[in-house]
Amino acid sequence: MKFARELAEPWGLLLAATSAGMAWAVQLPVVAAVGVGVAVLAARAGVAVLSAEKEPPPREARVLDVAPGSPEANWLRRAEAAADGFVSLSDSLATGPLAERVADMEPVVRETLATLERLAGRASATGQALSRVDLDAVTREQRRLEQSLASAREEVRGDLEQALTAVRAQADVHARLSGARDKLLAQLQSGALGLDSLVARVAELTATTTDIAVDTGAVRELSDQLEGIRQGVLETEQATRRSLG
């Protein structure tokens, strides 16, 4: 089927016709000229099919690793436990309106956890980048350059100003990375504890509600709480992506 589609491809037909015309122009018999065109068309189709088959599959987006033992790893583990608890609680409910409403929340819980995983990976990557900037050394160097610049001769001022600009840029990078990491860790904590709270509320609701009298207001509050957690982690992911460029 792929070979047949390539045979019918317009550019291939044009190339074949051009080749046949050139063969006829050098006074080859008509049958031979047509044969040249057919051979060119078949060869092109074969190469196209083989090239398509050898194309590697598209690579999936790389997921950043979470540093073991880091604060973000601990909060992510807390969020994973909460998500597992929510699914387990949902599976334990008897069939009925309440079970259906809780089951409807599962995809949102999984989406929220996936976003928290990305935030944790970004927090670890940010922490690694921070470790490459020695803020104490940068601060000392900035202070030294500022003092040197205050009494520098005119012929060296330009070089000192460039050096000071470079050092200040390092300090600015450290400040942006530090702020982004603080925001990521705060959201990871908020998301994990929010999922914990959600599981506790669902457990409470299942213990005090029967399918005959489902508290729709309480269920709506749970949905709103989960949506708030989801929106919070998504907004943090977008904000840190913009701030870190």
pLDDT digits (tens, 9 = 90+) for 31-82: 444 444 445 444 544 445 455 444 444 444 456 799 999 999 999 999 999 9
In a domain, 63, yes or no: no
**Percent of the chain as helix, strand, coil, to the nearest 5:** 85, 0, 15
In a domain, 18, yes or no: yes
Residues of the chain above pLDDT 70, percent? 70
Same domain (yes/no): 6, 100: no
Look up the domain containing 183 and give its range: 71-244
In a domain, 183, yes or no: yes
The one-letter code for the residue type at 9 is: E
- C-alpha 154/C-alpha 24 separation (Å) is 79
Q: Minimum mean pLDDT among 28-37, 104-113, 215-224, 229-238: which range?
A: 28-37
Same domain (yes/no): 94, 215: yes
Work out the pLDDT band at 209, boundaries 50, 70, 90.
low
pLDDT score, position 7:
42
Mean pLDDT of 164-177: 93
Same domain (yes/no): 141, 229: yes
pLDDT score, position 162:
93
Same domain (yes/no): 178, 145: yes
In a domain, 62, yes or no: no
Question: Residue 154 above 70 pLDDT?
Answer: yes
Question: Residue 223 above 90 pLDDT?
Answer: no
In a domain, 10, yes or no: yes
In a domain, 61, yes or no: no
Same domain (yes/no): 77, 40: no
In a domain, 212, yes or no: yes
Strand partners, 213: 210
- Alpha carbon dihedral 72, 102, 105, 88, in 10-degree steps, equals 40
Mean pLDDT of 13-34: 44
Higher pLDDT, 142 or 5: 142
Same domain (yes/no): 141, 234: yes
Dmax over CA atoms of the chain, in Å, equals 95
Same domain (yes/no): 38, 78: no
Reported pTM? 0.67
Same domain (yes/no): 121, 234: yes
Of the candidates 128, 77, 107, which has an alpha carbon nearest to the alpha carbon of residue 226?
Answer: 107
- Pair of tokens at residue 196: 């914990």
- Say if CB 176 and CB 133 are below 8 A apart: no
Same domain (yes/no): 14, 83: no
Same domain (yes/no): 116, 20: no
Same domain (yes/no): 28, 115: no
In a domain, 65, yes or no: no
Higher pLDDT, 229 or 8: 229
pLDDT score, position 206:
80
Work out the pLDDT band at 85, boundaries 50, 70, 90.
very high
Same domain (yes/no): 218, 108: yes
pLDDT score, position 99:
82
Q: How many structural domains compose the chain?
A: 2
pLDDT score, position 222:
84
pLDDT score, position 63:
60
- C-alpha 133/C-alpha 142 separation (Å) is 14
Q: Minimum mean pLDDT among 22-26, 131-135, 152-156: which range?
A: 22-26
Averaged confidence pLDDT in the chain: 78
